[in-house]
Structure 1
Amino acid sequence: MSAQIDPTQAPDAPAESVASALADAAFVRVVCRADGDALAAGGLLARALRRTSVPFHVRAGSFVSMPDAPDDDGVLLAVGTDVPNADATVAPDDGATSRRAYEVAAALTPAGESGPDPVLALAGIVAAGEHPGAMDGGLLSVAEETGAVERRPGIAAPVADLADGLAHTTLAHASFSGDREAVTAVLADLDLPAEPDDAAHRTLASLVALDVAGDDDATVRAAESVERALKPYATPDAPFTTLGGYADVLDAVARERPGTGVALALGHETRVPALEAWRDHAAAAHRTLSEGHTGRYEGVHVVRATDAVATHPGRLATVARLARDFRSPEPMALVIGDGVAALAAVEHGAARAASAVADEFGGVDEGAWSGDARRAVVRYDADAPEAEIIAAVREAST
């Protein structure tokens, strides 16, 4: 019989209550939503469990199945999503899951041992679309005071190689995104020094900002959204060179190769395979945004996914976010694949629309969805007419 601690089942349960339930567990199964924020949160909690000598298992997925309740004194912990039978949930209605997980991990850490990693928590917060200093800013202050992060000009990328970073970041969509050869040609024209100084980093940031905002297909939101990719926080002791780059890799690997993402969040040496997943993910997402057929409907901007993305929920989700932030003149972006779609809303409506599509077109066993008010993915009968899917999204999101 699973340990049932009612106060911990609320998404905003007190950190101490959740930590107490985890510390007393014989085994903890951690189920994370497949995104960078939830992955970082799951990593923070699992690392704390390791320090507490509580055995655990972590998995992540776009569509969380309905696991059986753990036996004996085991605890099922849902992170970033609601899971039936969960004994505890870390998925706040407002704000990043990583911030809440950091609080739980701090409460769980034994006295005298080092606390949870603030850089991993901050990377999760950035992956959630928030500024690292959002809310009370305490985490960012701690990281700055210890030298774990330092603000500098330039572009937020996970690698020092400028061409690699510019081609594969998913924090922005520029004319050269996804095309390393095009980026290399652009950099050659800039004639930057081999070791970029602050002036070179500023030149690079200006190039990206102007390219994004000056694109004929860019929306007003594009000029605001590109700010996520500028003026990064350097992270000298982290696996990746900047906080935004760390967040970008976490989100990409969570959606592209969740198993590798879990290993990364747990602190294992997976930098190389994580970067490979990041490059593959970015190249496919940018290509679909550039080449996919689009349509504009009242309230919804539709992108038809390319073959490399059409059956991949994680890639679809990234395309939807990029479309919302850089291409959609409407408040909702919908990316349609083959029996799978992703939604990204400027303010709200994504979860409601995904739920409506799953209910109406899911068939007997195929319907499922996961997400929140701003981002969601949905699985449905691949034979469902596209026009009816679009109509259902329009109706549910308005």
Structure 2
Amino acid sequence: MPLKYTALLLLLPCAVIAGQADNTPPPKPHPLKASTQRLIDVTPGAKQALSLAAEGDITPLTTAELEQLIIDAGGSLTKHGRNFADELEQTGATGQFSAEEIAQMVAQTAKGKVNAGHIRKILQQREAAQQPSLVGGRQSDDCPGLVYGAGKREICLPLAELSFADRVVAFTPGEKPSKVPFNNPAKALGEPDYRATQSPDFISIGCDGELLVQFTDNVLVDVAGPDLYIFEVGPFVEKTELAISQDGSSWLEVGVIEGARSDVDINGLVAAGEHYNYVRLRNAGKSCGGMHSGADIDAIAAVGAEIRLSLDSALLFDVGKYQLKPEAKTALDELLAKVAAYGPDIRVTVEGHTDSTGSDSDNKLLSEQRAMSVWQYLAPGLTLSAQQVSIKGYGESRPVASNDDEEGRALNRRVDLLIKPGSRLKR
């Protein structure tokens, strides 16, 4: 029950008692009042919180939520302030709070117990600092796309809304999953829309939880500066293990996102020109559990990104062939219009892909031939130099789906155009 309503309920029985005669037997304890009093007695800071809630000065939380916040922070309802700070340090949880915040906690808990109201104040201050501009992006003369976030966490994404993860491939909530509705992995897709801790606009991936997402209309590449940005939200910033993949099965371990660091540079880990379609996040924090268990993820963005336009090979070629079918003209003309709309200041990579049927060498050759056939059709309609274009055939080596069934194999037979925009993305 929210504290502000609890405070009001506490006042109601008092008025009834005041009007009774002296010889009237005392009424039986009101079960709701008795239950509320027990909660007050076992929850440090609850009386103060009730008073403040009654005055409307703070956002009310239930007693259970106050208790969970303290436990999530590595504390206990019966710990003294100094012990609380020591425990945080011993368990390696001090990264969740700054030195100043811990000092404040110690000072505020001098009376002997962890002050839930003070922890709440810290959470509110953090949330107020994080909340602005996390919903969607904004235009800026210094950014060719859109700017997201605010302050030190501000980031320019050249591809704007195309930058974000598009599909949940898998989600494992781990040993201690989050509670409904904060366990929905789809909340990590698309643009950031975090508003408040109580609003289910993000996914808490759980203790040892693992989230695997895919970029479908763009790819992650290495550029100068940050390449990947994780929009982690909420009052605590958890450690998160990060890995990337080209095919969703072979993973490159990038490392651990430490503390409040959200931007990741893959320079030195990947070869020039390589691109990645998958991101895996695995909670690595020691302090988790409760309503928001583990890392809280609102969005995942490829900062270093290229636009991907994909064509089903069945629309373009007969089985085993690389000559364009007559009916391919419609699809290729539509593709040409999309590419031309980005202007002449672009780089284009044409990639051919096959399923796993047949030999590796035959598939690689066929994929190269199909990529070349597509580019030969598009080239006359674009004013691009040879230095702006690359033709590649990957055969079966970069699937986007399983080759175990026909549906997956059909998705893997494709020609992709990767477009690196110029100075300003046309939207």
Which structure has the greater CA radius of gyration? 2
TM-score over 0.5 for the pair = no
TM-score norm. by structure 1 comes to 0.28
Pick the structure with more helix per residue.
1
